[in-house]
Amino acid sequence: MEKIEILFDEKQIDESVKRIARQIEKDYDGEEVVFVGILKGAFMFISDLAREVNLNTKIDFISVSSYGQKTTTSGVVKLIKDLDNDIAGKNVIIVEDIVDTGLTLKYLTDLLNQRKPKSIKLCTLLDKVSRRQVNIVNDYVGFQIKDFFVVGYGIDYAQKYRGLPYVGHVILED
């Protein structure tokens, strides 16, 4: 069994969503933004963020799966579901739940850049900076965390805990 210890509660998450939303509004003043959520983990974060950002926004989703060899830097992710709409000429913000090695975001930014968007920025609720294997820069970050395994607010452990309204640290016990 496992125990969940709260790392960031609803109030802390709400404050960080609002802080990021204000930054995005400032950076894209008067422009349209396409939020690209990475399924499934980012569904809760993107829905809160989209409600908070007062700009013309569009929302699309993409889904990738890891090949399981998280330590190799090539062919690490597979595209499961592509975007529904073209992003050529658009301001894209990729919305992720948590960035670990950075391989997923590296793959996705390379893929989406080929489609000639006007711009691409990266937004993540959680950032495990010490685990980074590739050089990607997160433009908007909710919280930097240590190398904890976390769940909640969209993030799972074996598909469990996505519905929790807070982010928790998983403590394995037997």
Per CB under 5 A, 41 contacts Mg ion: yes
Within positions 113 to 152, which residues make up the interface with ligand IMP, using CB under 6 A? Answer: 149-150
> Residue 128 — φ and ψ, nearest 5°?
-95, 80
The binder of 164, among ligand IMP, Mg ion, none, by C-beta within 5 to 8 A per type, is none
CB 51 to ligand IMP: min, Å: 22
Tell me how far, at minimum, the Cβ of 92 lies from ligand IMP, in Å: 17
Q: Are strands 32-39 and 56-66 parallel, antiparallel or unpaired?
A: parallel
Return phi, psi of residue 27, to 5°. -70, -30
Q: Looking at beta carbons only, is 28 or 98 nearer to Mg ion?
A: 98
**Interaction partner, residue 127 (ligand IMP, Mg ion, none; CB < 5-8 Å by kind):** none
Residues near 149 by Cβ (< 8 Å), separated by ≥ 6?
Answer: 157, 169, 170
What are the tokens at 140? Answer: 């908007």
Task: Examine the residue annotation and report whether 110 is marked as an active-site residue of this protein.
Answer: no
Contact call for residue 36 and ligand IMP (CB under 6 A): no
Q: Which residue type does 80 have? A: I
By CB under 6 A, tell whether 109 contacts ligand IMP.
Answer: no
Which of the following is catalytic: 48, 97, 100, 127?
A: 100
The CA distance from 122 to 92, in Å, is 9
Alpha-carbon gap, residue 76 to 152, rounded angstroms: 24
Using the rule CB under 6 A, give the single segment among 2-10, 54-62, 82-90, 93-101 that binds ligand IMP: 93-101
The end-to-end CA distance of the chain, in Å, is: 6
- E strand or H helix at 61: strand 56-66
Residue of the chain from 98, 120, 122, 123 that contacts ligand IMP (CB under 6 A): 98
Q: Contact positions toward Mg ion, by CB under 5 A?
A: 41
Q: Contact positions toward ligand IMP, by CB under 6 A?
A: 41, 70, 96-104, 149-150, 155
Give the residue numbers marked as catalytic. Answer: 100
